[in-house]
Amino acid sequence: MSFLPSSLRQPSALPGFGLALGFTLAALSLIVLIPLAALVLRAASIGPADFFAIARDPRTLAALRLSFGTALIAALVNTVFGLLIAWVLVRYRFPGRRIIDAAVDLPFALPTAVAGISMAAIYAPNGPIGSIAQQFGLKIAYTPLGIVLALVFIGLPFVVRTVQPVLEEVESDIEEASALLGASRLRTVFQVVLPHVYPALLTGFALAFARGVGEYGSVIFIAGNIPLVSEIAPLLIVIKLEEFDYGGATVIATLMLAISFAMLFLINAIQGWSRTKHGNV
Amino acid sequence: MAMSDRFLPLSHHPERATSETAPTKAVLIAVAGLFLGAILFFPLVTVFIEALRKGWGTLFGTFADPDTLAAIRLTLLVAAIAVPFNAAVGLAASWAIAKFEFRGKNLLLTLIDLPFSISPVISGLVYVLLFGAQGWLGPWLDQHNIHIIFAVPGIVLATVLVTFPFVARELIPLMQSQGTSEEEAALMLGASGWYTFLKVTLPNVKWALLYGVLLCNARAMGEFGAVSVVSGHIRGLTNTMPLHIEILYNDYNFVGAFAVASLLAGLALVTLLAKTFLEWRFAGELAATSRRH
């Protein structure tokens, strides 16, 4: 069954390698790789002049800036509160802890459109929180602030679930040693415990950020979708497609993927650098 | 020692040296609770409040609407195809990756995870570029009267792409940690390859498989962005439940939108309950992977 040259794999007593890998590769190619290649080919066939004309269009730039900017702010908020929630769940025992622990995964389970209409109802000027904010002259729904809130909802579990297992692994003896050597609790937490968590925290930030950049369902209901102001990049792709402007949609999608991968590459590089500098913490 | 001067000691009692003081704990728990309450619980509760705003009669009225019923049927159909397919891919991929050593394994792992780092809208877009009217295969499909985009096959394909990694990434680390010795013993005793897989491997990973299927199903039934791009939003024909919510919402039929939303929110709650139960009851058999998504 094996269609791979034998030099590519080591001998094994188990059967079915060719069948399993063949099925996996066939499914992966048909479902993921060939369709993505279609995007890349389409982008390549547009030609640099047209490509940059669409890329430099103020509406494209505004949408990309909004998507990456709001995703960045939301991921930063989630980094702070995700760490706090992971800390509370790992370190403290209190009534309701199990329910909170389970509820953190809600954004993974709740369809984005459901979260979207619900948050729009809450933060709209006539909604329970939106009406209070209105009295203080603050508009949440139909502004970039509403987009940030939706992305905070979507991204929170990524940070908590990445940090939580690492925090559980931190040995208590390093804290005891730090305390015995006379460090204050705050100093022990920030200079002894948390450095172990920083790589996981950065990974959680990257996951939340990547998800936020591409998020569509939870955002479009609360965003207001005003061109140049509150129109996210994924929505602009949908609009271009509805206008049968496949080229425009392709260019924006390609830019989104390129910037996303560049940022993930950068974050990986930072993690590799911090590992060589501080040891494998 | 300049740093320590800025941090005042919280306590001089040695038993408290490796924990925060009670008031600090209370404040941190309260902040975490308030944040989760505002960000997570409030939107969830709002779905049910809004759905019941005009009473149970209106709520049930939404589900008597043929378009709503068609949307529910389509969502179930799409999940019934996408989830078993991705479960099969997950089993095949984890068998190849966990039980054998071969070159390019890390690349394969990265490619399997790729759909997680792509915007759902782009996941839909790639199929439009492939099968749409102006797509690579569009004219050929049109000649042969095959409809993929703005039809059910496109919705299924987009859903399969978005949910592709869910089962595989639960199974691969678990199967890797289990090794091959049990399978080798079964084969030595004369069992066939398929028999070994069904009677040895599958029982070892069944809870992780169920866990992956659960998450895959939740995403498949709730997917919005990718499906929205390829659906064409034809009422009664190519509307899934999430798309139907959007249509009702844009028609200012808020009670209807939240009624359908409450059904999906109920599904989300059942998913969370089942997932929590699996994590609690079978923690060891899910391996350390239960926290990763």
B292 has a pLDDT exceeding 90: no
Tokens of A187: 């100093």
Chain B residues inside the 8 Å CB shell of A13: 180, 184, 187
Q: Are B230 and B127 in contact (CB under 8 A)?
A: yes
- Supply the pLDDT for residue A182: 84
B262 has a pLDDT exceeding 90: yes
pTM, two decimal places: 0.90
B99 has a pLDDT exceeding 70: yes
Instruction: Using CA coordinates, name the residue in chain B closest to A174.
Output: B18
Low-confidence ranges of chain A (pLDDT < 70): 1-9, 277-281
**Mean local confidence (pLDDT), B49-77:** 91
- Supply the pLDDT for residue B288: 47
d(CA A7, CA B230): 42
| CB proximity A234 to B under 8 Å | yes
Residues 223-242 of chain B whose Cβ lies under 8 A from any Cβ of chain A: 223-225, 228-229, 241-242
Q: What string of DSSP letters covers B227-283? A: HHHHH---TTTT--HHHHHHHHHHTT-HHHHHHHHHHHHHHHHHHHHHHHHHHHHSH
| CB proximity A257 to B under 8 Å | yes
- Supply the pLDDT for residue A183: 84
Closest residue to A114, CB basis, from B85, B92, B265: B265
Catalogue the long-range contacts made by A64-68 (C-beta closer than 8 Å, 24 or more residues apart). A64/A233, A64/A252, A64/A255, A64/A256, A64/A259, A66/A144, A66/A147, A66/A230, A66/A231, A66/A232, A66/A233, A67/A212, A67/A213, A67/A232, A67/A233, A67/A234, A67/A256, A68/A213, A68/A259
d(CA A140, CA A122): 10
Chain A residues inside the 8 Å CB shell of B36: 85, 100, 103-104
Closest residue to B288, CB basis, from A165, A176, A186: A165
Cβ-based burial of A107 (10 A; exposed 0-12, middle 13-18, buried ≥19):
buried
B1 has a pLDDT exceeding 50: no
Chain B residues inside the 8 Å CB shell of A86: none
Q: State which amino acid sits at residue A96.
A: G
- Supply the pLDDT for residue B47: 96
Length, in residues, of chain B = 293
Flag if A246 and B129 touch (Cβ within 8 Å).
yes
Chain B residues inside the 8 Å CB shell of A113: 222, 224, 242-243, 245-246, 261, 264
d(CA B166, CA B292): 10
Q: Which among B25, B276, B182 is positioned nearest to A106, based on CA atoms?
A: B276
Helix, strand and coil in chain B, % to nearest 5: 80, 0, 20
- Supply the pLDDT for residue B16: 54
Chain A residues inside the 8 Å CB shell of B215: 108-109
Residues 82-141 of chain B whose Cβ lies under 8 A from any Cβ of chain A: 85, 88-89, 92-93, 95-96, 99-104, 108, 111-112, 114-115, 117-122, 125-130, 132-136
- Supply the pLDDT for residue A186: 84
- Supply the pLDDT for residue A10: 72
**Mean local confidence (pLDDT), B195-211:** 94
d(CA A155, CA A74): 8
- Supply the pLDDT for residue B117: 87
Q: What's the angle, vertex CA A181, arms to CA A175 and CA A186, rounded to 5? A: 55
Flag if B128 and A246 touch (Cβ within 8 Å).
yes
B2 has a pLDDT exceeding 50: no
Contacts of A271 (CB under 8 A, 6+ apart): A199, A202, A203
Q: Band of the pLDDT at B11, cuts 50, 70, 90?
A: very low
Q: Which among B133, B122, B284 is positioned nearest to A214, based on CA atoms?
A: B122
d(CA B78, CA A85): 36
Interval B47-58: pLDDT, tens = 999 999 888 888
Q: Which among A236, A20, A82 is positioned nearest to B93, based on CA atoms?
A: A20
**Mean local confidence (pLDDT), B233-258:** 92
**Mean local confidence (pLDDT), B184-205:** 93
Q: Band of the pLDDT at B121, cuts 50, 70, 90?
A: very high
Contacts of A29 (CB under 8 A, 6+ apart): none
- Supply the pLDDT for residue B287: 66
Q: Band of the pLDDT at B9, cuts 50, 70, 90?
A: low
- Supply the pLDDT for residue B111: 92
Other C-beta atoms closer than 10 Å to the C-beta of B55 total 10
Q: Which among A72, A33, A50, A41 is positioned nearest to A259, based on CA atoms?
A: A72
Instruction: Using CA coordinates, name the residue in chain B closest to A120.
Output: B43
- Supply the pLDDT for residue A280: 52
Cα–chain-centroid distance for residue B284? 22
- Supply the pLDDT for residue B289: 46
